[in-house]
Structure 1
Amino acid sequence: MRKVTFIIFTLIPSIVYADLPLSLEDILTDKGKLKLETSVSYINGESNHSELSSPIYIQTGTANFIAVPTEVRERNQNSDMVVGTLGLRYGLTGNTDIYGSGSYLWREDRQFDGEGRKTRDNSLSDISLGISHTFLKDEKNPALIGFIEGAVYEKSHGKVSSGKSWLIGATTYKSIDPIVLSLTAAYRFNGSKTLLDGVKYREGNYWLVNPSVAFAANDRISLIGGIQWLSKQPDQFDGKKESIRTSSTYAHLGTGIGFTKATSMNISARFGISGQSSSELKLGVQHTF
């Protein structure tokens, strides 16, 4: 059972919880060990409205997202985005990790409202630091892991801010060989930011709930699937709401390959079922030193 359990948690993509390892002993990074986590995501979004839109949310980690502003939605707009993420985790104790990650965003927007336009942009999007801790292990009761992280660098509407966004959440899971059931819930708080033109901007806070199921096909390959629900409060400019509260539902599917106990790779897809129209493909690699 230990071998099957290990491969599932090693290969669950960060959609669930930062590529959870799958044996009880390896649920977090071993004390004194360093874990490298890298990923590349491709996102496509499309809209056909002529109103101020909510941002497109690109998932880069546990329950963390980059909010990519879409400004005013033209009559027809299609966007391609690529996000590269590099993260490091360090085991402080057998139950506690500290971690950090940074994401770089490239995007191309194509718009048509009587005439065609195309714009491109690329920049460092965000850098965040966090800590996670295992409160309960998977024994009689399901395991429970809590985490909190904050953005030390965040670019929004061309303006850089620090310490304005915080994420707190928890993941619980239960292994029933060869299946692992997991649930992640998180809340993100966004503070007010001053934009380049002096306008006060506050991105809406959001709730995230993500139940998932992982199945070990064999000792090297696992299959993962689940549903993700996100509810977001309206954005505000100078204290005035610029949208309504929105909710979106996504489905995600993935597969992973465990090359060794220290190295794994996962490929996943995330696509909208209701609400926001966007889809995401992600390739991630994890290695422990």
Structure 2
Amino acid sequence: MPLVIITGLPSSGKTTRALELKRLLEARIEARIEAEAEAEAAAGQPLSVQIVGDDSLGVGHAAYAAAQAEKDARGALLSAVSRAVSRQTIVIADAPNYIKGLRYQLYCAAREVGTTHCVVHCAIPTAEARRINAQRGAAGYDAAVFEALAARYEEPSAAARWDRPLFTLIQHDPDDRLPLAAIWAALVERRAPPPHFATAAKPAAGSADYVFELDRATQAVVAAILDAQRSGVPVALLPVPGTAARVRMPARALTPSELRRQRMQFTSLNRQAPLPADRIAELFVEYLNISL
């Protein structure tokens, strides 16, 4: 079954909500099993609930103090979720998930296996999260790390397909209960969206021609970005040969290693759910515009 993406500021109560949701979902699953048994329904493989996050992956707060360690932590989360998510397992991704690009990648992982997802936003004023974090002492985030994460936090928006269905909870408010019925409906009762671009004709997954075209098209986009940067001429929207899509160039310079990593992640996500060959470059540009 589906993926629940937990997101929020540091010390906003994400793990508390994840544990609460796991308990409520397991109770709901148990009640469902008992009801089906009484009705002598055909027994299929029962649902299970699994939390995947910083705690289970051994990622400490210190990982968010350095750019490379943080990227490694995000990569470990994405890999673990991709391995765990299935039609019979509800996976709760309990991590900051504060970058919309990572939430998009997690959304892609759910779509790749043909299952549903939703986002639970643990909303809290920054000042309150700062106060709670300070109260935690050594168990909390370092003050500088907290401020950096808070400054970079990208709140989810129901307008973005990777952030909906979106459930926003006011943290540490005893009256703001998890909307279990609505979450259950979004995860279990809702029809899963088709894999990416399922209506288009696709080549066989892993075929040599497709892999070659995926490599060629993504490499061409990366080359266009690096060539534009080397020219020294600033550009906000970079045209890419072979597509009408344009890369929204950030104010900073993009390094070859960063672009290579983004390219590897994109190809990994789409190697088993092939894209239409004539849209690979366009979709990679869209991916970069979300992730960078």
Per the normalisation by structure 1, the TM-score is 0.25
Higher Rg of the two aligned structures: 2
Relative contact order (C-alpha < 8 Å, sep 6+): which is higher? 2
Per the normalisation by structure 2, the TM-score is 0.25
Higher strand share: 1
